[in-house]
Structure 1
Amino acid sequence: MAVFGYRVTDREGRVTEGVVEAPGEMSARDRLREMGYLPIRVWPASAPPGKIAGPAEKGRSARGARRDLLPFLQGLTTLLRAGIPLDRSLEMLGDLFRAQAMGNVANSLLRNVRAGQSLADAMRKAPGSPFSRFTVQMVSAGQATGRLEDALEQAYQFLERSRDFRSTLLGSLLYPAILLVASILSIVLLVVFVVPRFAVVFSSSGVLLPLPTRVLLAGSVFFREYGLVFLLVFVLAYLFFSAALRRPEARRAWDRAKLGWPLVGSVLTAIETSRVMRSLSSLLSGGVPILPAFVIAREVSGNLAIRDGMEAARSRVQSGAKVARALAETTPFPEMALQMIAVGEETGRLEAMLESVADTYEGTARRRLRNFLTVLEPAVILGMGLLVGFIVFAMFLAIFRMNEVPF
């Protein structure tokens, strides 16, 4: 079996690079097509792929390195499973990604590994810090247990699933966000530009306008005169609120309150439960001890209330408490999740049960988000329809009133 570098496009048109193991180039292309990719170029990984995007530039952004992290981990896993030594694998990946920021990272890893450092230590010192603490700890445990390839694959699968889940959530919110912005812009255009033109006609007619029309015209004048003031107040309030949330106490209270919001709170709780439990499962399956796993898993959560609860749970576990009981006493995780964890502890299948909890609540988050959007989208459409309908109704009332006046 040979190793081939590739450049492909996925179903969404995004360009991805990596390596694949296959008997020959045609087999590599066939395998990529089976994976759902459209091959652009395939070449032996030991040979230079040619100029892809120009020479690597110094000072590539850390964002670029993190963007290439998944193809890098996948490629490293493939090369190591093919029996290629670590230093040679890093050298090949450095050549493969030489036009991207990850090329500099691979070369840095190669230098440090050849200097006698472990791969985990080299990852900690990588330029741009593309490797999270989770990834580094997984690699460290994999090296200690002699299962580096398995650890890399588990890290890759965790990061890929997290990325896909995040993309799904953001994609679900995209249409309602566009709809809301379009609705606001439409109302603003009507009130600021269309209504004033009719106001001139109405005022010159000398007709006593209907109440809805007078309300609309007064609102238009008020918005045009004080709209910028309200916008400035909104921006200042946002900046003040953002600055206040930089204080840990305020951020902690805000994060705790979010979990109790109607509709949204249940979605956020399910998302955080899935992320933390999947992280714990991956770490424990990779050979990371329970206490360090708690420390790393808490960092996966973006909610300070959950982070504090995880730290308190770690202290209780360190004192001899069961994992499920410690989490129940300190965190806002759902009761069913805690019961599943307790069953996993009793049966000696904690890692598998944590993975099941993560899968369950990932599905729950998707369903609850879908239900929330089912309510939100019609509400936005209805609100826009009512506002536009009121504007049109008020305008036509005035026109009908003017037509009743004899000339």
Structure 2
Amino acid sequence: MPSIDLNRFEAKKVSRPVKQAKSDGLLALLSRDLSFGKKELDDKKKEYLYLELSSLLQAGINLKSSFELITADQQKVKDKELFITIQQAVLNGTTFSVALQQTSKFSLYEVYSLQIGEETGKLIEVLQDLAKFYQNKIKQRRKIVAALTYPCVVMTTSLGAVFFMLKFVVPMFGDVFRRFGGKLPWITEKIMGVSQALENNFFRFVSLLILLAAFIISARKTEPFRRISSKLLLRTPLVGNLVQKIYLARFCNSMRLLINARLPLLRAIALIKQMIAYYPIESSLQKIEDDIMNGKSLYQSMQQFNIYPSKMIQLVKVGEETNQLDYFFGKISEQYLEEVEFKTATISSMMEPLIIIFLGLIVGVILVSMYLPLFQMSNSFQ
């Protein structure tokens, strides 16, 4: 049976399949989840595939019959065709891992893990690990989205209301004030000035936003943009620390899976380097890989980079000394995931009242500034 040649992975040179897989849109661990037009299979479908397949194989059903059952359960034609293609490749003598690679719908992260599982007779365990990985990933993403949805909806709606007032309501009051003449209060003049500026520069502002969005889309994959944007994001209060822990949790969980699958450390780092789309970690892994080649330990190389907390480095040191890296990476990942969930819930609960208070003040100032001249005029008529 044809198999993947693991020797194609060299320490300083990434193989052609890895580069090709990267261009095809490999797993980016977080930021690629919502990308449009991606070629990989959806995370939810991967979780279903690995969970069902591991359960069926554990029950004693062979791979061919297991795939027939999974394929029959598919509702979408594209998914059914994909699983039929994998099934036919396996029936023709191709290993399961290579069959997945040939579809270009799965990352090398999964392909190499599954190949190690096939070679060591631990395919079911690897399938269960992959199912748990995607299950946790989906669960984490759902919690983050659920925690931030309400504040974002409130913010968007409130800003829309403020924009409507400045664009339409304030100018109407302004026309009334100009007819009556007289000296307007300071705050009213300022609000009317903001409204007039919005009126005069509305299309310029929209054009600027479009140009900014186009620039970000075109430059987001360049190294200078990724380096600068990641630094700015890390320095953002609350959000920076949250994003750092999300990616560190993904990194640690990926290392746990690959090391647990008996993949050599250098090859595991080379794979993860191709999959992580977070510049601080991605750029550090090349230096870490070179240092390990020159005889340094993993924890010594990680100490050079601020992205890795000192506590994490100490646990990695213990893992290297006791030959339990996979166990400690798993513990670190679990700890960071718990912190992410707690901080996400905390930020969400903090944002809701702060947004309401902040936008309430803005709306209140606008209303007071508009009604204050009316009160003055009513007093002058008495």
Q: TM-score range by the shorter chain?
A: 0.7 to 0.9
User: For the residues of structure 2 that align with 1:271 and 1:61, how far apart are their CA atoms?
Assistant: 22
1:201 aligns with 2:173: no
1:170 corresponds to? 145
Check whether the contact 1:317–1:326 (CA below 8 A) recurs between aligned residues: yes
1:404 aligns with 2:379: yes
Query: Unaligned regions of 5+ residues in structure 2, if any?
Result: 1-36
User: For the residues of structure 2 that align with 1:69 and 1:101, how far apart are their CA atoms?
Assistant: 14
Higher helix share: 2
1:116 corresponds to? 93
After TM superposition, give the deviation of residue 172 of structure 1 in Å. 1.7
Residue 319 (structure 2) aligned to one of 317, 320, 344 = 344
Check whether the contact 1:109–1:123 (CA below 8 A) recurs between aligned residues: yes
User: For the residues of structure 2 that align with 1:344 and 1:154, how far apart are their CA atoms?
Assistant: 20
Identity of aligned residues (%): 23
After TM superposition, give the deviation of residue 64 of structure 1 in Å. 6.6
* Deviates further, 181-190 or 360-369: 360-369
Pair 1:108–1:66, CA change in 2 (3 A)? farther
Q: CA RMSD in A?
A: 2.2
Q: For residue 85 of structure 1, what is the amino acid of its counterpart?
A: N
Residue 48 (structure 2) aligned to one of 63, 67, 71 = 71
Check whether the contact 2:46–2:134 (CA below 8 A) recurs between aligned residues: no
User: For the residues of structure 1 that align with 2:209 and 2:42, how far apart are their CA atoms?
Assistant: 36
After TM superposition, give the deviation of residue 62 of structure 1 in Å. 4.8
Pair 1:297–1:61, CA change in 2 (3 A)? closer
Check whether the contact 2:71–2:84 (CA below 8 A) recurs between aligned residues: yes
After TM superposition, give the deviation of residue 324 of structure 1 in Å. 1.5
1:53 corresponds to? none
2:70 corresponds to? 93
Pair 1:61–1:361, CA change in 2 (3 A)? closer
Question: Could you give the per-residue CA deviations for residues 171-228 of structure 1, whole angstroms, max 9, x where no partner exists?
Answer: 2221221121112101011112222222232222233322222222222222122122
Residue 356 (structure 2) aligned to one of 375, 381, 394 = 381
1:268 aligns with 2:243: yes
1:23 corresponds to? none
User: For the residues of structure 2 that align with 1:405 and 1:330, how far apart are their CA atoms?
Assistant: 69
User: TM-score, normalised to structure 2's length?
Assistant: 0.84
Residue 391 (structure 1) aligned to one of 360, 366, 371 = 366
Pair 1:124–1:186, CA change in 2 (3 A)? same
**SS of corresponding position for 1:405:** helix
1:106 corresponds to? 83
* Deviates further, 88-97 or 292-301: 292-301
Higher strand share: 1
Q: For residue 57 of structure 2, what is the amino acid of its counterpart?
A: L
After TM superposition, give the deviation of residue 152 of structure 1 in Å. 0.7
After TM superposition, give the deviation of residue 161 of structure 1 in Å. 0.6
**SS of corresponding position for 1:223:** helix
Structure 1 runs, 4 residues or longer, greater than 6 Å off: none
Pair 1:202–1:242, CA change in 2 (3 A)? same
Q: For residue 95 of structure 1, what is the amino acid of its counterpart?
A: A
Q: For residue 180 of structure 2, what is the amino acid of its counterpart?
A: S
Pair 1:285–1:372, CA change in 2 (3 A)? same
User: For the residues of structure 2 that align with 1:134 and 1:386, how far apart are their CA atoms?
Assistant: 50
1:12 corresponds to? none
User: For the residues of structure 1 that align with 2:363 and 2:43, how far apart are their CA atoms?
Assistant: 45
Structure with the bigger RCO (C-alpha within 8 Å, sep 6+) is 2
2:159 corresponds to? 184
After TM superposition, give the deviation of residue 358 of structure 1 in Å. 0.5
Residue 230 (structure 1) aligned to one of 180, 205, 208 = 205
Question: Could you give the per-residue CA deviations for residues 111-168 of structure 1, whole angstroms, max 9, x where no partner exists?
Answer: 1111111111100012xx3322211111111001011111111111111111111221
**SS of corresponding position for 1:174:** helix
2:117 corresponds to? 142
User: TM-score, normalised to structure 1's length?
Assistant: 0.79
Q: For residue 104 of structure 1, what is the amino acid of its counterpart?
A: E
**SS of corresponding position for 2:258:** helix
User: For the residues of structure 1 that align with 2:357 and 2:164, how far apart are their CA atoms?
Assistant: 18
After TM superposition, give the deviation of residue 98 of structure 1 in Å. 5.3
1:248 aligns with 2:223: yes
After TM superposition, give the deviation of residue 294 of structure 1 in Å. 1.3
User: For the residues of structure 1 that align with 2:108 and 2:380, how far apart are their CA atoms?
Assistant: 77
After TM superposition, give the deviation of residue 391 of structure 1 in Å. 0.8
Aligned length: 346
Residue 302 (structure 2) aligned to one of 319, 327, 337 = 327
Check whether the contact 2:43–2:134 (CA below 8 A) recurs between aligned residues: no
User: For the residues of structure 2 that align with 1:65 and 1:159, how far apart are their CA atoms?
Assistant: 10
Check whether the contact 1:255–1:304 (CA below 8 A) recurs between aligned residues: yes
Query: Unaligned regions of 5+ residues in structure 1, if any?
Result: 1-59
**SS of corresponding position for 2:296:** coil
User: For the residues of structure 2 that align with 1:242 and 1:136, how far apart are their CA atoms?
Assistant: 30
* Deviates further, 144-153 or 339-348: 339-348
User: For the residues of structure 2 that align with 1:275 and 1:331, how far apart are their CA atoms?
Assistant: 17
1:282 aligns with 2:257: yes
User: For the residues of structure 1 that align with 2:54 and 2:77, how far apart are their CA atoms?
Assistant: 19
